[in-house]
Structure 1
């Protein structure tokens, strides 16, 4: 069977799925990643966006807390924080008590909080609202992600698979364009077969004039696997080894030295999944991998019951991971290139429910972190008395956040990506 025929057979049978190809790597050091990035390093001064998605609808009112507002206390008798409990930011607002690391970033002027972010005619469905945020299309169903459309505008060259990367086994819709897409990296060791099987697989990714458009696209994706594996495999393997060593050390009395992004705050606890993701991102940034966008995520924010303890635990993970990541980035040569943006698909309703939780709401805060960020509040805090059927009224369209990072971080005209013009904000 010639290679072209074999390739078409494998593509038709689904044998070449990425999940089946990525596994069994040996543990490599960070210096291999530096070598892989040496051929096409990201030039200094190129902006890098780290986009953090908090899945489930984070309760913005118990994250950015208006603790001194009587309307807040009355709406949440058992769920509200008291003024002395929150981490003061001014303007009658404070961070959740668990967010000490992000409070430090605020005090150093490296945290901006965009208040009251949402979109017209908000939707309470997780799936619909997240689709709206990821496609930047509130008025009609989107067919591509907003960062996928940014990818479509970039050169179609050997770097296409590296420009936008999601940490995790599933590519989020926000990185899917009409013509191209970002790469999804599983959290663990990532490598392709070596030797004769590897050469055969590489041949399946070779371009052929006999391919139909779909076969050509599939072949291109196969070739991209090798690009991604070369650039990120060593770092993912190294991170997996570090995580395994940390888990092993927790079973005994000994201690193991961990990097800043994975060092657990509490003795004997393993690093959070988000901290591990940001550790990998930091390693890639330090290695000058030519990636401009990294997507990371944390779930579990759908707090319909027993919210206070659950959300506090999650927000501590978020705050600690972001704080450690920023400390590491600030110490490197790309400190002013990197901007992290954290958002959720919606906030929660103002009033607590009967289960010490909150139900799906609308507007919420967006957090922006970086050495080049102008710290402080952006936009108005929504009123707790002037409500839309029990929900907060939004003040800032989320597409203004996107327009700002597209223009000032990724250096591109936001209008074609967002299908319209939106005012940029002053956080960078």
Structure 2
């Protein structure tokens, strides 16, 4: 069988170079999820950040499909909300937490203790600088976060570069074998489906791929040995974590779904002191054009919010108040939904949205942001207007919680918010 990547037949495999072997090992399996492992941009050591980096671990939860922030953080004090959604609005009597003008969807009940404790909060009327109702292009812009520039890297990559990340385990996307697009760029990063499944393709009894790789690259030129060292160090670290049975602390119970499993592994990396600076996880299926449903169990939006809340609450409970002092979790989505329900009792693609924030440094128990109102004259082509750039919210987190003196390289031409969504460390 001929390998299309180099044109080598089976009987020619002994002539492969070190570079070829590393490329094949990485491209073939979970360890192929490494990004930015080439040239002088990587370190020969794993030098975990735990001893140097003193900022928060930023956990990014991407709500893919277009999250309806008006269902999650309900503008109960705005009568236009109820007029626009006669069949799917959340009744005032069912709202929990919130403020005099807003209330939380009842499915977010698992997060209510954190709201009351001041570690869970929200930002309303937040989003991208300009409307974009295309899932693909809006998410691409969301993760690049540099409109009007030639920048093509992901903003999490730029964050890691600004913080001096030197190990793939400083930036991890969990739940996928490939690093998230938000991590695209020169900073070392990796993607893994789960900690327990993270391994080189083909590494098994009788076929010691990892050991062979280690021997092959011993004494190799630095341009080759550095990436190999990064790979082997990350494999060793995750293998050590996987060898220890993991039991969530404080009675935390993660839902057995994609998001729950991913956040469970993020907690393992944090508690295992792997040096994690940033983690990216996904939560999909938020594109509800039809049958969004009433705010009761068994309906689409209720059950999706309940799953989200259960996973976030389990994560915060597992880490405990001490662990969450050094963690800030934030949700983003490519766009919000239309204010007015459609003929299928669903919501089409919109603009303004809500972000959820969870962490020890979060100024919780409140809804941040300037509310523009839902009256017709305040809408943007039928959508909730954006009064706060999502990048400005994250920039405030990077500045106050992650220790970045300037965030201009991460978010070009954007100033961080000064509304106090988080407290300074």
TM, length-normalised to structure 2: 0.81
Correspondence for 2:214 among 157, 181, 202 = 202
Correspondence for 1:91 among 88, 93, 100 = 100
The more displaced of 273-282 and 224-233 is 224-233
Determine the structure 1 residue equivalent to 2:157.
148
Q: Is residue 319 from structure 1 mapped to residue 309 from structure 2 by the alignment?
A: yes
3-state SS of paired residue (1:98):
helix
Shift of 1:130: 1.1
Correspondence for 1:362 among 351, 354, 376 = 351
* CA distances 1:248-281 after superposition (whole Å, capped 9, x unpaired): xxxxxxxxx87668626xxxxx622212211111
Determine the structure 2 residue equivalent to 1:277.
262
Q: Is residue 133 from structure 1 mapped to residue 161 from structure 2 by the alignment?
A: no
Q: Is residue 82 from structure 1 mapped to residue 71 from structure 2 by the alignment?
A: no
Determine the structure 2 residue equivalent to 1:32.
none
3-state SS of paired residue (1:312):
helix
* CA distances 1:160-201 after superposition (whole Å, capped 9, x unpaired): 211111102221111112x23411011242234377532222
* 18 and 83 in structure 1: CA distance in 2 versus 1, 3 angstrom threshold: same
Shift of 1:237: 6.5
Shift of 1:38: 10
Determine the structure 1 residue equivalent to 2:412.
419
* CA distances 1:112-132 after superposition (whole Å, capped 9, x unpaired): 211111122211111111111
Correspondence for 2:116 among 88, 107, 132 = 107
Determine the structure 2 residue equivalent to 1:245.
none
Determine the structure 2 residue equivalent to 1:267.
none
The more displaced of 348-357 and 371-380 is 371-380
* 410 and 390 in structure 1: CA distance in 2 versus 1, 3 angstrom threshold: same
3-state SS of paired residue (2:132):
coil
Q: Is residue 402 from structure 1 mapped to residue 394 from structure 2 by the alignment?
A: yes
Q: How many angstroms apart in 2 are the aligned matches of 1:234 and 1:402? A: 32
Kept in 2: contact 1:88–1:94 (CA 8 A): yes
Structure 1, unmatched stretches of 5+, are 23-36, 243-256, 265-269
Shift of 1:6: 3.1
Determine the structure 1 residue equivalent to 2:171.
164
3-state SS of paired residue (2:58):
strand
TM, length-normalised to structure 1: 0.80
Q: Is residue 348 from structure 1 mapped to residue 358 from structure 2 by the alignment?
A: no
Kept in 1: contact 2:77–2:100 (CA 8 A): no
**Number of aligned residues:** 384
Shift of 1:327: 1.8
Determine the structure 1 residue equivalent to 2:235.
229
Pairs within 5 Å for 1:25-64:
41-42=50-51, 45-64=54-73
Kept in 1: contact 2:30–2:198 (CA 8 A): no
Shift of 1:222: 4.1
Determine the structure 1 residue equivalent to 2:27.
17
Shift of 1:302: 0.5
3-state SS of paired residue (1:148):
helix
Correspondence for 2:319 among 313, 329, 333 = 329
* 81 and 335 in structure 1: CA distance in 2 versus 1, 3 angstrom threshold: closer
Q: Is residue 186 from structure 1 mapped to residue 181 from structure 2 by the alignment?
A: no
Q: How many angstroms apart in 2 are the aligned matches of 1:4 and 1:202? A: 18
* 16 and 173 in structure 1: CA distance in 2 versus 1, 3 angstrom threshold: closer
Q: How many angstroms apart in 2 are the aligned matches of 1:377 and 1:166? A: 28
* 113 and 314 in structure 1: CA distance in 2 versus 1, 3 angstrom threshold: same
Q: How many angstroms apart in 1 are the aligned matches of 2:263 and 2:30? A: 25
Q: How many angstroms apart in 2 are the aligned matches of 1:39 and 1:146? A: 21
Kept in 2: contact 1:164–1:183 (CA 8 A): yes
Q: How many angstroms apart in 1 are the aligned matches of 2:329 and 2:386? A: 22
* 191 and 377 in structure 1: CA distance in 2 versus 1, 3 angstrom threshold: same
Q: Is residue 387 from structure 1 mapped to residue 379 from structure 2 by the alignment?
A: yes
Determine the structure 1 residue equivalent to 2:276.
291
Structure 2, unmatched stretches of 5+, are 1-11, 33-45, 294-298
Kept in 2: contact 1:42–1:291 (CA 8 A): no
Kept in 2: contact 1:305–1:356 (CA 8 A): yes
Kept in 2: contact 1:349–1:390 (CA 8 A): yes
